[in-house]
Structure 1
Amino acid sequence: MPFSSNPIYLLVILTMVISWLIQWRLRSKFSKYAQIGLQSGLSGRQIAELMLADHGITDVRVISTEGRLTDHYNPADKTVNLSEAVYEERSAAAAAVAAHECGHAVQHATAYSMLQFRSTMVPVLSSVSTYMPWILIAGVLMIRTSIIPLGLGIVLFSLTTLFSFVTLPVEFDASRRALAWIDKRGIVTTQEHAMAKDALWWAAMTYVVAAISSLATLLYYVSIFMGGRDRR
């Protein structure tokens, strides 16, 4: 089946375009909100440390990491990693990101089930990610002689798709925790809360599109697999 006539292939292309647009919108939103200072005057680091303390978390460090939008929580060494700008900035964007990453730390401390499930998948995905692309390529090239390689590739790729969808509730829950806390603690004003919520919504959309894109790609390989099986 030619690529251009496969609707699933067209869906893959469409999700790639949408992903680029959302990434652009996300960067635009964060750049805009980074220019608006918090009335509380707290930096991203201070907000993160305060949120951790309020939740009784004393074994997690807040550190600065290089890059832009590189913020993340590392459950392995219990660190909230804030990009250099977020670490120092005193803006609605910095407040949103810092609190969101601490939301993951709270999930970890409270044994949030979806985070635990996602964490158990990481070692497996790390071990197969190196070989999976090559297995898929070999499977597509060998489809006329054997469907086994592509079938194996599909099984492995389905794990990455599952991981993408498991990530969604983890990210949305972290944002929910973050927004509830910064509001209750008086970190932000009503207007700043709206900006923080908007920034986190666009960040969440990147995960949603990534999950849909992964599913579309999986279905595309499945369509090739089914076509190869039917020709046998």
Structure 2
Amino acid sequence: MAGAYLIGIIVMIVSWIVSWRLKSKFNEYSQIGLANGLSGAEIAQKMLQENGIYDVRVLSVEGMLTDHYNPQDKTVNLSADVYYGRSVAAAAVAAHECGHAVQHATAYGPLQFRSAMVPFLTISSQWMQWVILGGILLINTTTIPLAIGVALFAVTTLFSFITLPVEFDASRRALAWVQNRGVVTQREYGYAKDALWWAAMTYVVAAVGSLATLLYYVSILMGASRRSD
């Protein structure tokens, strides 16, 4: 138990550091203008078209670092700083989100699997914490509710790990395209790569955190099962 608590605290601290570092990097690279002067929206449109994708819309959405690709309605959603920005950060983020659109268009396996899990994950997330709470309250009577809750949580953990190859591959596609098409200079490429690396680390930390929490619940379940034997 104590070990699980310690791991949880460490993950929380690391998560905060990575999140802070990502925002710091984004702010830093947002101040570095692109030599070609293109905006994030223009780069997104260019990458989509050069990959033969004409049915995906590029939209501006509110918030900071709210950028995402929605496979349901085929939209690349860029925050205002990225959509209108003409910086290295805007180029990196816009190209990354279009990387997801390319994955969708080419039927990239991990993305398809991840998308197929979303409906179940949505339902699971609504009930998971309540089932786990109920399971803990009833643990001295029966371990079945807690076992169900742990199984539901395991699905969210699996989802977080499936997200990793999806995110890393989108960044790989983005960086290859901006470099091969001369969208960025060699110096700008290094900045873009650094920004996307820190963005990817947020997903790594989230996955590790989810795994640590899952193991904590598993340890409670196993302890209860041993006591009942």
Under TM normalisation by the shorter chain, which class is it?
Answer: over 0.9
| Matching of residues 14-33 of structure 1 within 5 Å | 14-33=10-29
Q: Who is 1:98 aligned against?
A: 94
Deviation for aligned residue 1:196: 0.3
Deviation for aligned residue 1:135: 0.5
Q: Who is 1:213 aligned against?
A: 209
C-alpha contact 1:87 1:94 (8 A) present in aligned 2? yes
- 2: CA distance, partners of 1:53 / 1:207: 28
Q: Who is 1:202 aligned against?
A: 198
- Using the TM superposition, name which of 113-122 and 6-15 deviates more: 6-15
2:163 aligned to 163, 167, 174, which one?
167
Deviation for aligned residue 1:147: 0.6
- 2: CA distance, partners of 1:216 / 1:231: 23
Are 1:135 and 2:131 counterparts?
Answer: yes
Structure 1 counterpart SS, 2:46: helix
| Matching of residues 54-69 of structure 1 within 5 Å | 54-69=50-65
Q: Which amino acid aligns with 1:137?
A: L
Structure 2 counterpart SS, 1:62: strand
Percent identity of paired positions between Structure 1 and Structure 2: 66
- Encode CA deviations 1:44-102: one digit per residue, 9 max, x unaligned: 00000000000000000000000000000000000000001100000100000000000
Structure 1 counterpart SS, 2:220: helix
Deviation for aligned residue 1:139: 1.0
Structure 1 outlier segments of 4+, above 2 Å: none
- When normalised by structure 2's length, the TM-score is 0.98
Are 1:38 and 2:56 counterparts?
Answer: no
Q: Which amino acid aligns with 1:43?
A: S
C-alpha contact 1:9 1:217 (8 A) present in aligned 2? no
- 2: CA distance, partners of 1:204 / 1:107: 17
Deviation for aligned residue 1:127: 1.2
- 2: CA distance, partners of 1:127 / 1:15: 26
Structure 1 counterpart SS, 2:126: coil
C-alpha contact 1:114 1:166 (8 A) present in aligned 2? yes
- When normalised by structure 1's length, the TM-score is 0.97
Give me the CA root mean square deviation. 0.6
What number of residue pairs does the alignment pair up?
Answer: 228
For structure 2, the 5+ residue unaligned runs are none
Deviation for aligned residue 1:140: 1.3
Are 1:223 and 2:213 counterparts?
Answer: no
